[in-house]
Amino acid sequence: MEGIHHVSLSITDIHEARQFYSTILGLAEIERPDFGFPGIWYQVGEQQLHLTVHPASDTLRPKSVVETKAGHFAIRVKDYDQTLRYLKQSGVQLVEKPESKSGFAQIFCLDPDNNVIELNVDQADLQR
């Protein structure tokens, strides 16, 4: 095995998802083949994030509560405090864990379909 190529998430509204992932998280959208159903692909470092419109998916979380133990994916960020301030200013619901036992300073948030996302830095890299 060489690594994870992409993570795929189900979404219900492509416009809300694009607003969140492109505008709020600032991910770079990349070209996606026409599969005959809507979706968006993003480049995240060396990996990709694939969002697929699938309103009937069984994987969508019904809760709009940030649960750090729920299935999620993590994105490494450059600056924990800057990311935290920006997300708060953007009105994103989140949970802060700057001193997690994992060794990462973590921020957990939800996308518009309640998918949990972790944003993190190594605790040693905290700029405090």
Query: Under a CB-based contact definition with an 8 Å cutoff, are residues 48 and 30 in contact?
Result: yes
Across residues 68-76, what is the average pLDDT?
94
* Confidence class for position 106, pLDDT limits 50, 70, 90: very high
Q: How far apart are CA 118 and CA 106, in angstroms?
A: 6
Please report, rounded to a whole number, the percentage of residues in the chain having pLDDT higher than 70.
98
Across residues 107-122, what is the average pLDDT?
96
Across residues 65-91, what is the average pLDDT?
95
* Backbone φ, ψ for residue 100 (5° rounding): -60, 145
To the nearest whole number, what is the mean pLDDT of the chain? 93
Q: Is the pLDDT of residue 127 over 70?
A: no
Residue appearing with tokens 């770079």: 28
Residue 128 pLDDT: 59
Q: Is the pLDDT of residue 36 over 90?
A: yes
Tell the burial category of 4 from Cβ atoms under 10 Å away from its Cβ (0-12, 13-18, 19+).
Answer: exposed
Pairing of strands 6-11, 116-122: unpaired
Across residues 61-76, what is the average pLDDT?
91
Across residues 14-28, what is the average pLDDT?
97
